[in-house]
C-alpha cells in the first residue's frame, strides 16, 4: 500500500473525527461547559498510564466485535448478533472452567480461548444456518438471537453457575490456571508502573494478532477471495462455482467465533467470573467500529482504539463536569457514524470543488 | 505553658477547618441513580447535607451499568479523593479491589461488608424495620391481605420479605401475604412498569397494603396505589410525600445518616474502618411518621407499634433473619 492510498483511506475518518469533535465542543458550549474538558479528556485517555490502560482495555473487545461485523460485511451479510455471540462465548469459558478447574495453565488458557470461540461460533452458526438453508433475513435472525442468547446466558449466571455466597448476579470464580495476566505484570518486570491498576491484559496482543490473521485470510487466501466475491456480486460468484450456502455458514461461524473471543478479555483477563450485564453493548458498538474502518481489518484496529478512547474519555468528561454524564459517549459515537456514512458525499463535493474527478 | 497549648489548639483548629473546606468526597451510586427516591436518593441526601453543613466538595457519579463501577471508583482514587462512598452491595468487589490498590484512600461501603481496614462497611438490620412496617400494614389492612413486591430476587430482599411477613403474622396470624419480585437481574431495580403491573394484580387479588423494597421500580407501585386508591409502604428513603395519603408509612433505612456520619468522621480525621451493623436500637432502621401519613396512622396503631418497637429493641420479640435461615450460616456479603 502506497503512502498516498493510506492517506486517502485515513483522510475521511480524520476529518470526521475533527468535525465530530467540533460539534461536541459546540454542544458543550451550549450546555454552559468549557470545551476544554473535551481536550482534557482526550489527553487523559492517551497520555497517562491509567487512562491509556483503560482505553486499551475497552479497545480489545471493540476490536474483536468490529472484526466480527466486518467479516460478515465482506461476504455481503450484516451480523448484528455480535452481542449475543459474545455472551455465549463468555459463558462457554465459565462453563468449561467450572467443569475442568484442575487443568494446568498451558492447557487451561488454550481451552478457555477455544471454548469461547466455539460458543460464539455455534451462536453465529445458527444465524448462518437459518440464512443459508431457510432464507431467513440475517438481520432479523441475529437481532432475535441476541435476545435469546443474552437471556440464556443470564439464566446460566443466575442458576447453574451462580455464586450463592454473594448478592450480585454473578457466576462462581474460575480457577487461577485460566487467568490471563494483566499487561501491568509485564511492565512491572521492567520496573515500570505503566498500566498499574488497570485491567488491560494480554488479550489485547492476542486480538491484534487476530486482526492481522483476518487481514491475511480476507485478502491473501482463496477462501477469503470467495467470501469477498460473494459480497461484491453474489450471482457472478455463484456462477463461478462458489457455494453460497457453505460460505454463509462458514462466515457466520467465524464471525461468531471472533465475537466470542470478547469473553476471553472479560472473563479470563479481567473479572475471572461472569457478571450479569458485563457488556456495555460491545457488539453494537462493533458495527460502528467496522463502519468507521470501512471493514478493513487493520483499519479496525485504529477505529477500535478511537471508540475505546471515547468510551473511556466519557468518564473523564463526567468527572470534569457538573452537568455532563458519560452518556455523552453515545452522542459522540453517533456523530462519528453519521459523518462517516456521509463521508463519500463530502469527498465528492470536495473533489468537484478542485475540478477533479471523484475517483481518480 | 497553658497559653501556648491554647494557641497550639487554636492553630490545629484553624488547620483542620482549612482541611475541612478542601475535603473532596466522591459518591458512587449504583444503577438506581440519585433520583430513585429510595435507596440511592437517601445516600445522595446524606452527602448533600454534608456538603451544606461541613463544606466538602462533592462529586456524584451514577453507574448506568455494573461494569463501570470499578473504573469509577478507581478514577476517584486516582484523582486523589480521600473519601469515596460506594453505595450498594453491587459495588463490594469493586471496593475490595480498589481499596487494596489504594490503601491510603478511605472508602465507605453501604449495604455490604468487606474486611479491608480502610473500608467502613455499613449494613442495616432490614428485617427489624420490615417487621415494624409489616405490623403496621396488618393493623391497617381491612381485607386481611397485604402484598410484598421486592426489586431483585436476592438474599437481602428476601430478608425484607421474611421480616415483613413475620411482622404481619405477629399482629394478625390469619392475614395473607402476597409475594412478588420484579426480576432476578439488576434491571429489576429500575423497572417501574413491571412493578406497577405486579402491584395492580396484587391489589386486584385483594391486598390493600403493599410493601415495596424495590429501588426505583417502587415508583410504579406508588402509581398503582394512586390508581386503585389503596395503600403502599415505601422503603429506604421517607417516601410519604411521593403520593400523600396513599403512603401508609416508609420503612426507613438511614443510609443518609450513615453517609453523613462517615463524611463527618473523615473531616474530623477520625475515620475508622470496620463493619457497622445498624438496627432499630442504633436508629439505623425505622418507620416514618409525618404530616403526609398522619391521618392514616391512628393513635391506637401508633401505641401498638411503639410497644412492638421497644420489644424488638429489648429482644423480647425475635425477628427472624433470612441470612441466618440460609443454609450456610455465614451471611452473604
Residue A360 inside a domain? The answer is no
Residue A74 inside a domain? The answer is yes
pLDDT at A168: 86
CA distance A165 to chain B (A): 5
Residue A1 inside a domain? The answer is no
- How far does CA A242 lie from the centroid of its chain? 29
Please give the Cα distance from A207 to A263 (Å, whole number): 12
Interface test with A, best of B30, B68, B81, B190 (most A CBs within 10 A): B68
Q: From the list B59, B328, B330, which residue is nearest A319 (CB)?
A: B59
Q: From the list B67, B74, B332, which residue is nearest A166 (CB)?
A: B332
For β-strands B145-152 and B209-211, DSSP reports them as parallel
CA distance B159 to chain A (A): 12
pLDDT at B47: 96
pLDDT at A340: 83
Q: How many domains does chain A have?
A: 1
Residue B331: pLDDT band by 50, 70, 90 thresholds? very low
pTM of the model: 0.88
CA distance B67 to chain A (A): 6
Residue A356, pLDDT above cutoff 60 = no
Residue A119 inside a domain? The answer is yes
Residue A221 inside a domain? The answer is yes
Q: Is B184's CB within 8 Å of A50's CB?
A: no
CA distance A314 to chain B (A): 11
Q: Does A278 touch chain B (CB under 8 A)?
A: yes
Query: Can you read off the three cell numbers belonging to residue B261?
Result: 456520619
Adjacent-strand bridge partners of B274: B120
Q: pLDDT (tens digit, 9 = 90+) per residue, B197-228? A: 999 999 999 999 999 999 999 999 999 999 99
pLDDT at B20: 47
Q: Does A54 touch chain B (CB under 8 A)?
A: yes
Please give the Cα distance from B93 to A252 (Å, whole number): 36
Residues of A in contact with B184 (CB under 8 A): 154, 158, 169
For β-strands B83-87 and B106-110, DSSP reports them as parallel
Residues of A in contact with B152 (CB under 8 A): 169
Residue A4: pLDDT band by 50, 70, 90 thresholds? low
* Mean of per-residue pLDDT scores for chain B: 90
Residue B7, pLDDT above cutoff 90 = no
Query: Can you read off the three cell numbers belonging to residue A353?
Result: 470543488
Residue A2 inside a domain? The answer is no
Q: From the list B71, B112, B184, which residue is nearest A315 (CB)?
A: B71
Q: Is A277's CB within 8 Å of B186's CB?
A: yes
How many Å is the maximal CA-CA distance in chain B? Answer: 78
CA angle B263, B265, B271 (to 5 degrees): 105
The percentage of chain B sitting over the pLDDT mark of 70, rounded to a whole number, equals 91
Residue A114 inside a domain? The answer is yes
- Which domains are present in chain B? 2-125+256-278 (3.40.50.2300), 126-252+283-325 (3.40.50.2300)
Residue B2, pLDDT above cutoff 60 = no
Binding-site residues on chain B for chain A (CB distance < 8 A): 59, 61-62, 64-68, 70-72, 74-75, 78-79, 89-90, 92-93, 98, 101, 112, 152, 154-156, 184-187, 328, 330, 332-333
Q: State the SS3 of B261-289.
A: HHHHHHHCCCCCCEEEEECCCCCCEEECC
Give per-residue burial for A215-224: e unless 16+ CB within 10 Å, then b: bebbeeeeeb
Domain that holds residue A338: 7-353
The percentage of chain A sitting over the pLDDT mark of 90, rounded to a whole number, equals 71
Chain B residue with Cα closest to A199: B71
**Residue B249 near residue B95, CB atoms below 8 Å:** no
Residue B63: pLDDT band by 50, 70, 90 thresholds? confident
For β-strands B247-253 and B285-287, DSSP reports them as antiparallel
The percentage of chain A sitting over the pLDDT mark of 70, rounded to a whole number, equals 97
Q: Which of A343, A291, A309 is nearest to A11 (CA)?
A: A343
Residues of B in contact with A326 (CB under 8 A): 64, 68
Q: pLDDT (tens digit, 9 = 90+) per residue, B128-151? A: 999 999 999 999 999 999 999 999
**Reading across the β-sheet that carries B106-110, which strands appear in turn?**
B57-62, B24-29, B83-87, B106-110, B119-124, B274-278
Residue B241 CB neighbour total at 10 angstroms: 16
**3-state secondary structure at position A261:** coil
Residues of A in contact with B332 (CB under 8 A): 164-167
CATH number at residue A153: 1.10.3470
Q: What is the mean pLDDT of residues A117-132?
A: 97
Q: pLDDT (tens digit, 9 = 90+) per residue, B246-256? A: 999 999 999 99
Tell me the residues of chain A between 318 and 347 that have a Cβ less than 8 Å away from chain B.
Answer: 318-319, 325-327
User: In terms of pLDDT, which residue wins out, A120 or B325?
Assistant: A120
Please give the Cα distance from B220 to B197 (Å, whole number): 8
Residue with cell 452518556: A327
DSSP one-letter code for A28: H
Residues of B in contact with A195 (CB under 8 A): none
Q: Is B66's CB within 8 Å of A327's CB?
A: no
- Residue A78 sits at φ, ψ, to 5 deg, of -115, 105
* Mean of per-residue pLDDT scores for chain A: 91
DSSP state string for A139-180: HHHHHHHHHHHHHHHHHHHHTTTB-TTSSSSBBPPPPGGGPP
The ipTM is 0.83
Residues of B in contact with A315 (CB under 8 A): 68, 71-72, 75
Q: Which of A102, A23, A83 is nearest to A338 (CA)?
A: A23
Residue B33, pLDDT above cutoff 90 = no
Residue A59, pLDDT above cutoff 80 = yes
Residue A359 inside a domain? The answer is no
| Long-range Cβ contacts of B31-35 (<8 Å, 24+ apart) | B31/B63, B31/B64, B31/B65, B31/B66, B31/B88, B31/B90, B31/B186, B31/B187, B31/B189, B31/B190, B31/B215, B32/B88, B32/B189, B32/B190, B32/B215, B32/B216, B33/B62, B33/B190, B33/B216, B34/B60, B34/B62, B35/B216
Distances (CA, A) of B292 to B129, B225, B242, B248: 20, 15, 9, 9
Q: From the list A169, A278, A327, which residue is nearest B64 (CB)?
A: A327
Number of residues in chain B: 333
Residue B329: pLDDT band by 50, 70, 90 thresholds? very low
Q: From the list A167, A315, A327, which residue is nearest B156 (CB)?
A: A167
pLDDT at B13: 53
Chain B residue with Cα closest to A311: B68
Amino acid at each position: 500500500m502506497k503512502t498516498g492510498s493510506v492517506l486517502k483511506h485515513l483522510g475521511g475518518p480524520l476529518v470526521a473525527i475533527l468535525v465530530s469533535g467540533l460539534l461536541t465542543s459546540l454542544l458543550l458550549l451550549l450546555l454552559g461547559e468549557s470545551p476544554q474538558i473535551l481536550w482534557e479528556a482526550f489527553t487523559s485517555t492517551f497520555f497517562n498510564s491509567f487512562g491509556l490502560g483503560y482505553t486499551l482495555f475497552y479497545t480489545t473487545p471493540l476490536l474483536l466485535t468490529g472484526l466480527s461485523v466486518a467479516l460478515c460485511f465482506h461476504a455481503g451479510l450484516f451480523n448484528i448478533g455480535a452481542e449475543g455471540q459474545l455472551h455465549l462465548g463468555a459463558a462457554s469459558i465459565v462453563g468449561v472452567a467450572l467443569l475442568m478447574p484442575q487443568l494446568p495453565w498451558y492447557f487451561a488458557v488454550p481451552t478457555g480461548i477455544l471454548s469461547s470461540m466455539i460458543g460464539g461460533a455455534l451462536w453465529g452458526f445458527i444465524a448462518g444456518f437459518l440464512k443459508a438453508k431457510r432464507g431467513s433475513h440475517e438481520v432479523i435472525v441475529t437481532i432475535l438471537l441476541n435476545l435469546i442468547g443474552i437471556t440464556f446466558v443470564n439464566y446460566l449466571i443466575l442458576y447453574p453457575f451462580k455464586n450463592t455466597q454473594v448478592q450480585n448476579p454473578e457466576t462462581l470464580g474460575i480457577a487461577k490456571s485460566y487467568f490471563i495476566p494483566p499487561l501491568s505484570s509485564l511492565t512491572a518486570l521492567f520496573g515500570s508502573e505503566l498500566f498499574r491498576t488497570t485491567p488491560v491484559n494480554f488479550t489485547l496482543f492476542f486480538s491484534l494478532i487476530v486482526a492481522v490473521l483476518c487481514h491475511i485470510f480476507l485478502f491473501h487466501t482463496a477462501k477469503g477471495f470467495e467470501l469477498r466475491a460473494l459480497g461484491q456480486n453474489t450471482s457472478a460468484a455463484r456462477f463461478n462455482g462458489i457455494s453460497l450456502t457453505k460460505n454463509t455458514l462458514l462466515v457466520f461461524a467465524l464471525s461468531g467465533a471472533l465475537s466470542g473471543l470478547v469473553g476471553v478479555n472479560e472473563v479470563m483477563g479481567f473479572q475471572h467470573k461472569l457478571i450479569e450485564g458485563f457488556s456495555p453493548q460491545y457488539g453494537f458498538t462493533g458495527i460502528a467500529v467496522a463502519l468507521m474502518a470501512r471493514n478493513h481489518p487493520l483499519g479496525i484496529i485504529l477505529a477500535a482504539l478511537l471508540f475505546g478512547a471515547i468510551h473511556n474519555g466519557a468518564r473523564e468528561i463526567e468527572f470534569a463536569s457538573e452537568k455532563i454524564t458519560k452518556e455523552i459517549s453515545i452522542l459522540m459515537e453517533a456523530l462519528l457514524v453519521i459523518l462517516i456514512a456521509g463521508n463519500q458525499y463530502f469527498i465528492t463535493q470536495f473533489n468537484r470543488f478542485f475540478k477533479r474527478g471523484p475517483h481518480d | 505553658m497553658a497559653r501556648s497549648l491554647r494557641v497550639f489548639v487554636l492553630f490545629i483548629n484553624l488547620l483542620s477547618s482549612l482541611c475541612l473546606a478542601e475535603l473532596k468526597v466522591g459518591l458512587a451510586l449504583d444503577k438506581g441513580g440519585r433520583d430513585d427516591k429510595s435507596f440511592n436518593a437517601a445516600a445522595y441526601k446524606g452527602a448533600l447535607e454534608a456538603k451544606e453543613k461541613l463544606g466538602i466538595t462533592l462529586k456524584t457519579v451514577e453507574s448506568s451499568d455494573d461494569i463501570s463501577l470499578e473504573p469509577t471508583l478507581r478514577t476517584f482514587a486516582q484523582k486523589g479523593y480521600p473519601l469515596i462512598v460506594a453505595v450498594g452491595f453491587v459495588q463490594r468487589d469493586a471496593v475490595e479491589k480498589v481499596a487494596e490498590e489504594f490503601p491510603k484512600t478511605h472508602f465507605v461501603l453501604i449495604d455490604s461488608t468487606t474486611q479491608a481496614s480502610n473500608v467502613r462497611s455499613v449494613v442495616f438490620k432490614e428485617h427489624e424495620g420490615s417487621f415494624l412496617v409489616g405490623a403496621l400494614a396488618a393493623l391497617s389492612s381491612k381485607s386481611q391481605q397485604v402484598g410484598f413486591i421486592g426489586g431483585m430476587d436476592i438474599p437481602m430482599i428476601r430478608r425484607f420479605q421474611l421480616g415483613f411477613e413475620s411482622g404481619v403474622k405477629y399482629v394478625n396470624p390469619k392475614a395473607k401475604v402476597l409475594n412478588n419480585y420484579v426480576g432476578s437481574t439488576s434491571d429489576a431495580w429500575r423497572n417501574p412498569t413491571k412493578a406497577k403491573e405486579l402491584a395492580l394484580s396484587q391489589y386486584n387479588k385483594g391486598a390493600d397494603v403493599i410493601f415495596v423494597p424495590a429501588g426505583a421500580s417502587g415508583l410504579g407501585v406508588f402509581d398503582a396505589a394512586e390508581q386503585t386508591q389503596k395503600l403502599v409502604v415505601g422503603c429506604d428513603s421517607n417516601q410519604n410525600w411521593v403520593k400523600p395519603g396513599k403512603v401508609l408509612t416508609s420503612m426507613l433505612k438511614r443510609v443518609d445518616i450513615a453517609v453523613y456520619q462517615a463524611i463527618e468522621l473523615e473531616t474530623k480525621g477520625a475515620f475508622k474502618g470496620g463493619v457497622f451493623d445498624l438496627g432499630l436500637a442504633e436508629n439505623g432502621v425505622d418507620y416514618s411518621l409525618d404530616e403526609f401519613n398522619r391521618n392514616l396512622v391512628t393513635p391506637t396503631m401508633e401505641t401498638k407499634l411503639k410497644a412492638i418497637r421497644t420489644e424488638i429493641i429489648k429482644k423480647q420479640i425475635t425477628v427472624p433473619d433470612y441470612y441466618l435461615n440460609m443454609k450456610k450460616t455465614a451471611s452473604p456479603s
